[in-house]
Each structure stands twice: as structure tokens, then as C-alpha cells.
Amino acid sequence: MLKRGCVVLLTALALAGCDDDSPTAPSDPNVVMFTAQLSAANEVPPITGTEANARGDVRITFNLTRDSANNVSGATVNFTVNLTSFPNGASWILAHIHEGGSGVAGPVRINTKLTPATAITLTNGSISNQQFTSDPVTDVTLINNIISNPAGFYFNVHTSVNQGGAVRGQLVRQ
């Protein structure tokens, strides 16, 4: 009986050691993840017309670099974007992170490198898992501000019909 009790205790301890309160959180302190739910209704002003029902989501991963004192010194940013409910053939021309709270239009802070010259046609009105990587971001204050206050930043997608922005969503840290 004592032997069985020890086995049960050791198994319980091993399983407890594997517990993670946040199973989706990266274990690497140099990786910070955000998401945003994108909607035409979140744009300023809200979108009307053919793209009024457009929506999507984005997963944004900051891959941080650090100096010898372990301070953030830069980052590259990876974006994975899904869009749906756009008109067939819509032309996606830009996408980036802006600074600004909900309901506030703000300046571009981190670009995906998509341009009107490299526009993506949403043949059936949607796209899945479209990936982009930013140029290196060296503005440490900006990186730290996004990490500490993601709700003060938003991601949006621009189209040829809505060049000021077609869908947008505030960042949420994961």
C-alpha cells in the first residue's frame, strides 16, 4: 500500500509540475503575442457600402532582441492575417499597426510592407493565413509602449475602396 501511495504521489507531483496557467502563452520571454478582431464597424468612421460586413483577425508576434543588460533593443514583427466577407475581387493595399485607442484614428507605427504596388486580390472576398514580417523595429520606446499598453494600438487593413481603412481592431496581449 505504501508503494502504491508513493507512486500516486510522484505522479501527482509530476503532473503538477507540467501545469501551465496559460497554455497559449509563449514560454520564451523574447516572444510577445497579440491578437485583434477586425471589423468594418471599428473603423473611424464605421465603414458603409460594399465592405460594411467585412471582418477578420490578426495574430501579431513580436520577436524581441535584447542588449547585454537584457533590455529590449529591437524587434521584428510577424503578422498572420485572416479576412472574410469582403466583396469578391476586393484589393487589399495596406496593413499596419497604428497608435490610437478605440474610436481614435492615429499614425502608422509598424508596417507589414504591403503596398498598393504589391496589393493582394481577395478573389472570393477572403484570405487565410496571409503572413508578413516587418522591417526591424528599433524604436525601443514604441516596442515597450505596445507591450505595456496594447489597447492604445490597433491593426487595420486598407483596401482600394476604403483607402483610409476597411477593418480594424485594438491589440490584445496574449
Q: Which candidate, 35, 34, 42, 37, places its Cα nearest to that of 166?
A: 42
Confidence of residue 27 (pLDDT cuts 50, 70, 90): confident
Confidence of residue 174 (pLDDT cuts 50, 70, 90): very high
Grid cell for residue 139: 524604436
- What are the pLDDT digits (tens) for 86-144? 999 999 999 999 999 999 999 999 999 999 999 999 999 999 999 999 999 999 999 99
| Cα dihedral 36, 39, 41, 46 sign | positive
Domains within the chain, CATH numbers bracketed = 24-173 (2.60.40)
- What are the pLDDT digits (tens) for 55-93? 999 999 999 999 999 999 999 999 999 999 999 999 999
Grid cell for residue 25: 502563452
CB 58 within 8 A of CB 167: no
Grid cell for residue 146: 505596445
C-alpha to C-alpha distance for 77 and 172, rounded to whole angstroms: 15
Compute the residue count for the chain. Answer: 174
